């Protein structure tokens, strides 16, 4: 239970501070209590408008989005990722006249019902992972193994003519972070085009965090439609967006979801305005590299199989004797060791994800000294684990 946050720290009810590497699952990009975002919140509160209305500030937000992510238009801003995904997938089915959706097993699932499935038979036929997902929903989804192009090619060879959309999470967030191979991503993109499906890029974590243009810019991808969320709301409010490739000349229909709340619109505009400065992502990358190098050094010093996957300011650590690159290698991660590591780190003043597959995130508020403090807490945790093992 937390009482407040400031910069890169959160405080509990006893005013004990923790260096935070959760960052609201990556949504907090600039740090807690950022001046520009808080000014936006105060401005939103002064408007006297609640949810249910489109506000003039949406125009400013859409203009900023178009500036930072050129080549994508139109934009629809929504109040939730779920609403954004529903809009994007409906468009794919309507535009192609097809029904199937193809996912990868490393895709982030979020709260989208049709993403709550796993492969259960040859050629990616799926079954529900959680109770309440109808069999009819699962039957319209196929799941391909992440990083295995041959398997993906075989799957589309069978169901490509019936596939409306292929959804790609470029960092396979279900496995924490798996830095992608650019050539693989482009082969996937080309094959989607070949079978006539729509390429849907999941930018809900990577969007605006990997750079102003997200994964599309980082890996030179050209999705037909992309879904954004996470960092867009500045860690203050949930706000998402759907954008289509300008070349498709999409006209958005009349099935638009309810408008986002004013606080979400203004917080998003404030966040994007800060991201116009190139130094923001440069700082994020530098702190990510510092943390990455520091953890690797600690792992070597203590003789622990603690591996790091990182892309920019997104990082995942695993207790594993082999690199984590797909579902098979992820299944062999030592979750018990991570549980101890996370608990001991928290007791030393550092907040890490409670489970190993969940990524850690740095914010613009993390400085060199903050990362050093995080590494010192990890060192204490590894020392305690060493003492436990000696007993």
Q: Does the pTM of the predicted model rise above 0.85?
A: yes
Does 253 have pLDDT greater than 80? Answer: no
* pLDDT at residue 152 in the model: 97
The pairing of beta strand 9-12 with beta strand 2-6: antiparallel
Which segment of 38-47, 64-73, 96-105, 216-225 scores lowest on mean pLDDT? 38-47
| Four-CA torsion 122, 124, 130, 133, nearest 10 degrees | -110
Provide the pLDDT for residue 111: 86
Q: d(Cα 26, Cα 20) in Å, to the nearest integer?
A: 11
Residue 75: asked if its preceding bond is cis (omega within 30°), the reply is no
Whether residue 391 has pLDDT greater than 80: no
d(CA 360, CA 22): 5
- pLDDT band (50, 70, 90) for residue 59: very high
Cα distance between residue 193 and residue 29, in whole Å: 33
Query: How far is Cα 352 from Cα 305, in angstroms, rounded to an integer?
Result: 18
Shortest CA distance to 306 belongs to which of 261, 252, 345, 250? Answer: 345
Over its C-alpha atoms, the chain yields an Rg (Å, rounded) of 21
Predicted local confidence at residue 259, as pLDDT? 87
Q: What is the spatial distance between Cα 242 and Cα 196, in angstroms, rounded to a whole number?
A: 21
What's the token pair of residue 269?
């505009």
Residue 156 confidence (pLDDT): 97
Mean pLDDT, all residues of the chain = 94
Exposure of 255 by Cβ count < 10 A (0-12 exposed, 13-18 middle, 19+ buried)?
A: exposed
Dihedral of the alpha carbons of 352, 353, 357, 360, in degrees to the nearest 10: -60
Q: Determine the angle formed by the axes of helices 262-274 and 35-47, rounding to 10 degrees.
A: 150
pLDDT at residue 357 greater than cutoff 80: no
Give the tens place of pLDDT for each residue, 192-221: 999 999 999 999 999 999 999 999 999 999
In whole angstroms, give the CA distance from residue 359 to residue 304: 19
Rounded percentage of the chain residues whose pLDDT exceeds 70: 99
Whole-angstrom CA distances from 136 to 143, 166, 204 are 15, 18, 26
Burial of 81 (0-12, 13-18, 19+ CB in 10 A): buried
Name residue 104's beta-bridge partners: 144
pLDDT in tens, 278-318: 999 999 999 999 999 999 999 999 999 999 999 999 999 99
């Amino acid at each position: 239970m937390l009482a407040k946050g400031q910069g890169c720290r959160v405080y509990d009810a006893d005013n004990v501070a923790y260096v935070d590497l959760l960052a609201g699952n990556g949504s907090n990009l600039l740090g807690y209590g950022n001046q520009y975002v808080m000014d936006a919140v105060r401005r939103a509160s002064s408007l006297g408008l609640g949810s249910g209305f489109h506000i003039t500030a949406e125009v400013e937000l859409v203009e900023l989005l178009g500036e930072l992510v050129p080549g994508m238009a139109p934009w629809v801003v929504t109040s939730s990722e779920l609403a954004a995904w529903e809009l994007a997938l409906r468009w794919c089915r309507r535009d192609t006249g097809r029904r199937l959706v193809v996912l990868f097993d490393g895709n982030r699932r979020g709260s989208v019902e049709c993403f709550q499935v796993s492969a259960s038979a040859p050629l990616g036929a799926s079954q529900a992972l959680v109770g309440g997902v109808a069999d009819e929903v699962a039957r319209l989804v196929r799941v391909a193994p992440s990083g295995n192009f041959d398997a993906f090619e075989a799957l589309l060879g069978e169901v490509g003519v019936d596939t409306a959309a292929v959804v790609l999470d470029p960092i396979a967030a279900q496995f924490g972070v798996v830095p992608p191979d650019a050539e693989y991503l482009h082969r996937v993109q080309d094959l989607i085009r070949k079978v006539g499906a729509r390429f849907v890029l999941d930018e809900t974590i990577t969007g605006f965090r990997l750079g102003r243009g997200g994964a599309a810019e980082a890996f030179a991808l050209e999705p037909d439609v992309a879904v954004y969320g996470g960092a867009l709301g500045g860690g203050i409010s949930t706000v998402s967006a759907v954008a289509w490739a300008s070349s498709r000349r999409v006209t958005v229909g009349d099935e638009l979801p309810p408008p986002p709340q004013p606080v979400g619109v203004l917080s998003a505009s404030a966040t994007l305005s800060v991201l116009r400065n190139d130094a923001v992502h440069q700082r994020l990358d530098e702190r990510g590299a510092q943390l990455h190098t520091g953890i690797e050094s600690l792992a070597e010093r203590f003789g622990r199989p603690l591996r790091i996957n990182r892309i920019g300011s997104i990082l995942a650590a695993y207790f594993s004797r082999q690199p984590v690159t797909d579902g098979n290698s992820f299944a062999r991660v030592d979750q018990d060791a991570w549980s101890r590591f996370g608990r001991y780190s928290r007791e030393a003043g550092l907040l890490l994800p409670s489970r190993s597959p969940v990524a850690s995130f740095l914010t613009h508020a993390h400085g060199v000294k903050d990362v050093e403090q995080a590494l010192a807490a990890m060192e204490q945790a590894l020392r305690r684990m060493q003492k436990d093992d000696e007993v």
